[in-house]
Amino acid sequence: VITYVTHVTLAGLFATVYFLNDGIRHPIWGGAKRALTTSFGSICFGALLIAIINLVRYFLQIARANVDNACMSFFICIIQCIVNCAAGLFEWFNYYAFSGVAIYGKAFVPTARRTWTLVKDRGIQAMINDNIIGNVLFMGGLLVGVLCGLLGYIYLIVAQPAYNQNGNMTPVVVMMCFLVGASMFSSISTVISSGVATTFVCLAEDPDALRRSKPELYEKMRETWPRIVQGV
């Protein structure tokens, strides 16, 4: 729930900037207020659906571990694979649905339906498929983690702290530095991924707003994905 509240808050910020540019001061506070009040029920409902799917996955895992029959185990394995795929797709779609919740401020189910309809009609699916931001952020987190681990190793070599005289703590310190660096980058990348998802939804809702606020970017989008601006 905390993750989705953060996403809806950031989505409200990006949506405000997209539609109103700099027309509202401190839009982050407005996004946080909506996420924690009027949209909080929708956020909890979406998180509940994810929790139910994860619960089903857990029960399937237990059932597969306790079944001795090979045929039944194979059948459960197939169901488990289907549920895992469905869970991954639902978590991916939830991100865009919650962006719609931040924009429209309505219930989760109608907002999700409206968001997906707009995405399909506008051809935003092509942009989403071409989007490589997830891979870039993953590689960025990995790189930051490696750099932090390297800095931790250099610190141990140069400072030679008393707790690592024999070098026994070197792997632990390097791993901790790696995890801290990757976690910090992950927190920062949440802003980027939320902004990308919200921009896709905003483009599907009103591409003309982009033409008013950023005409040069709008022209590039129109040349690359002309279906997005249909009817504008």
Indicate the domain borders of the chain: 1-230
**What digits encode the pLDDT tens for the residues 85-111?**
877 777 777 777 888 888 877 777 787
Q: What is the DSSP string of 116-185?
A: HHHHHHHTHHHHHHH--HHHHHHHHHHHHHHHHHHHHHHHHHHH--GGGTTSTTHHHHHHHHHHHHHHHH
Query: Residue 180 has what pLDDT?
Result: 92
Q: Take residue 158 and report the two structure tokens written for it.
A: 């140069």
Please state the separation of Cα 114 from the chain's center in Å. Answer: 19
Per-residue confidence in pLDDT tens, the chain, 232 aa: 777 888 888 888 888 888 877 666 777 787 788 788 877 888 888 888 888 888 888 888 888 778 777 788 888 888 888 888 877 777 777 777 888 888 877 777 787 777 777 777 766 665 665 567 778 888 999 999 999 999 999 988 888 888 877 878 888 889 999 999 998 898 888 888 888 888 888 887 788 887 887 778 788 877 777 766 665 4
pLDDT at 143: 94
